[in-house]
Structure 1
């Protein structure tokens, strides 16, 4: 997962709304989002290499999302899979604050990450690159998480925030096509606005758009999660090939207890 927009208790009808793109190498196999065979209450994709996931929700309303923090100079070759931080939360009933606090105590063993865990009424954020001593509760409003700390104003993050802030969410699920169109924005940032994360200029340019297309690496899927105040929830995912063309779309509707 490389960019995610979160609307936290901002809309009176939809206390939780997430729109996200997952970027990854095309050769890294993954299963499209679906109820898990091992636990049908969980809806998420599966990373076939690490065994975890990047974004998911369960039918109790617990959700989690992960992005990598771009830190090319501090890579641990034998670090545990970060995707398991998401899947473990979805399979447990530990309160989000307690779970995130426990992860912070061992966060240095993982490669750089950002993690959000919670439910429609409360969500917390941690990163092992923020030097935080306790999880930060996400306040009501919109937030964007990419490959730096929460709400870092990278051009792609601010571009996505502005576009999705303009969506009123009054007509979900009919607005799903419009939201997917926003997530497919491949506009790159100007060179003088690019972050300096240690990559080549060519690579920084490639990664500067919300939607990434290249032969070896790019946006593999877009995901929308929304939970209504009455507990009705939807999960919709669109997957793409290496040319950025949509190859599949699925949608799951379910009811959770708020």
Structure 2
């Protein structure tokens, strides 16, 4: 039951994105790092469970951005929306991040929805677009689209972040679901409060990030009271943060290569040796589709009005399923979006 919160309400930032990835704790997942495909340099963590090695959230040097939430499929007779799709949902994120630079968001929407792009994939919503100032005199951001394989025609796709002062929420149902999930309502309300507090107090980015993490840490999940996992999962829509639930099971842990990602580097033609040692993904290669479930990763993306990006991802569990103290599993990246103001301003990524 992941959650994405997006706001244009902070005057110093064109966009702020918050994301909780709720998953089985031992689902094999890399740490965030730079990697390349089709000439695009992408910053993201990667899901190592599926062959596509996709991601749930990523951004490129040129400002292509995407974040995905799943629908929880339960209808075994719905061939169009399989419970276990033949293709990875995470591949939908990569499809946009690796698309041709000249392809607009709208063109991508039409290509994906009118062709075979969403066939054989479990239900999902994909928020995507290019993080860039509009070329008109408005000074606003280019809009982001929400694509879903439950959408109608491409003309029915919602568009976000076209105005200042807005806050949006997306979880494991359609964006235009008339019934607002409690976690979305709580998250949006708290995010507004945090932005107002930070702006009024004149707090800087470090304090802002910590307060945004406090939003992602909101736990209003009812007690399980003996319910089994399948019965209890309905309650997850009530809480922004999901504490560990379920029961641990033995895991088979294959032996990875020296840095845990050799197979992935070879598959994509990029060398992990190009990364600093501390930026290389962990060797998280367990078969994590059972056992303890909860919020596994928390990601915050800040984009200021000069096109500077701050990307912070917090790991809450190590590869063996042990909890990590808040902040000890953080990785932070800073970089400049190339072409933010219509001209190339690219530079090497900065890390702190």
If the length of structure 2 is used for normalisation, what is the TM-score?
A: 0.65
Tell whether 2:143 aligns with 1:116: no
Structure 2 vs 1, CA of residues 230 and 160 (structure 1 numbering), >3 Å: closer, same or farther? Answer: same
1:200-238 Cα distance to aligned partner (Å, 9 max, x none)? 442222453111122421111000001101111100010
Deviation larger for 136-145 or 43-52: 136-145
Residues 6 and 143 in structure 1, CA contact (< 8 A), matched pair in contact too? yes
Q: 1:76 & 1:201 partners in 2: Cα distance?
A: 17
Q: 2:230 & 2:296 partners in 1: Cα distance?
A: 22
Secondary structure at 1:252's aligned position in 2? strand
How many residue pairs match? The answer is: 250
Cross-structure match for 1:43 = 43
Tell whether 2:151 aligns with 1:130: yes
Q: Any runs of at least 4 consecutive aligned residues in structure 1 with deviations exceeding 4 A, and if so which?
A: 37-40, 242-245
- How do 1:46-57 residues align onto structure 2 when only pairs under 5 Å count? 46-50=46-50, 51-57=53-59
Aligned with residue 95 of structure 1, among 101, 104, 108: 104
Cross-structure match for 2:11 = 12
Q: 1:20 & 1:66 partners in 2: Cα distance?
A: 10
- How do 1:50-69 residues align onto structure 2 when only pairs under 5 Å count? 50=50, 51-69=53-71
> Shift of the alpha carbon at 1:95?
1.3
Structure with the higher strand share, 1 or 2:
1
Supply the RMSD in Å over aligned alpha carbons: 2.4
Structure 2, unaligned stretches of length 5 or more? 132-140, 247-291, 341-352
- How do 1:87-236 residues align onto structure 2 when only pairs under 5 Å count? 87-92=94-99, 93=101, 94-105=103-114, 106=116, 107-120=118-131, 121=141, 122-134=143-155, 135-138=157-160, 139-140=162-163, 141-150=166-175, 152=177, 153-168=180-195, 170=199, 171-188=204-221, 200-213=230-243, 214-215=245-246, 216-236=292-312
> Shift of the alpha carbon at 1:151?
5.7
Secondary structure at 1:161's aligned position in 2? helix
If the length of structure 1 is used for normalisation, what is the TM-score?
A: 0.87
Residues 66 and 97 in structure 2, CA contact (< 8 A), matched pair in contact too? yes
Residues 5 and 142 in structure 1, CA contact (< 8 A), matched pair in contact too? yes
1:171-223 Cα distance to aligned partner (Å, 9 max, x none)? 324311111122011212699xxxxxxx8442222453111122421111000
Residues 14 and 227 in structure 1, CA contact (< 8 A), matched pair in contact too? yes
Structure 1, unaligned stretches of length 5 or more? 192-198
Secondary structure at 2:294's aligned position in 1? strand
Cross-structure match for 1:248 = 329
Secondary structure at 1:6's aligned position in 2? strand
Cross-structure match for 1:196 = none
Q: 2:25 & 2:125 partners in 1: Cα distance?
A: 22
